[in-house]
Structure 1
């Protein structure tokens, strides 16, 4: 009998990915929720990819994490809440304060790449 995996904590995960990307000089965090059409099972998977575009540190792109999207609903809800606050205040960037970050506050941009479609696919980018 299989156990359902636990939900990831949205605030902790966002703080960890922001801190990791800052420490390793990544400036784009791409989050993609897509339908995995494996014949054995059909489920949605969330992929978090880090991208660095830099003359000083070089260009790089790597997969940070891949998990079932059912386990990432708290993270996606946190991003959605931050995005809605940004649009409600007519701001161009999101400012997020938490004690989990080394600097206690992070400002980042948000760019929607793909809206939810008929398969509930979603893709957005966090710009540091």
Structure 2
């Protein structure tokens, strides 16, 4: 029997991906939750892709992490809460404060790429 993997901590994961993105000069964090239609099993997978568009550091795109979406619900809930706060205050950017970041606060914007569809697929982008 396989043991279900534990949930990732949303605060720690968001802090890590923001810190890594800033340290390596990535300016786009693309999060995609899609249905994986493998013949052996069907499950949703969350992919986190980092993208850099820069004349100084060059363009780059790389996969940061791929995990089952069931294990990332705390992270998705955190991003959803931050997004709702941003829209409730009619702001264009989110300011997130935590002790987990070296700098204490991070300002970023949120852009929805794909709304949830019949398969519960979702795609959004965090712009630094």
What TM-score comes out, normalization by structure 2 length? 1.00
Is 1:113 aligned to residue 116 of structure 2? no
TM-superposed deviation, 1:46: 0.0
TM-superposed deviation, 1:124: 0.1
CA RMSD of aligned residues (A): 0.2
Aligned-partner SS, 1:50: strand
- Report what 2:68 is aligned to: 68
Structure 2 residue runs of 5 or longer lacking an equivalent are none
Summarize the alignment of residues 1-128 of structure 1 with structure 2, pairs less than 5 Å apart: 1-128=1-128
Structure 1 residue runs of 5 or longer lacking an equivalent are none
The CA distance in 1 between the partners of 2:37 and 2:113, in whole Å, is 21
**Cα deviations across residues 85-112 of structure 1 (Å, max 9, x unaligned)?**
0000000000000000001000001000
Aligned-partner SS, 1:32: strand
Aligned-partner SS, 1:66: strand
Task: Point out 4+ residue stretches in structure 1 off by more than 4 angstroms.
Answer: none
The CA distance in 2 between the partners of 1:121 and 1:94, in whole Å, is 24
What TM-score comes out, normalization by structure 1 length? 1.00
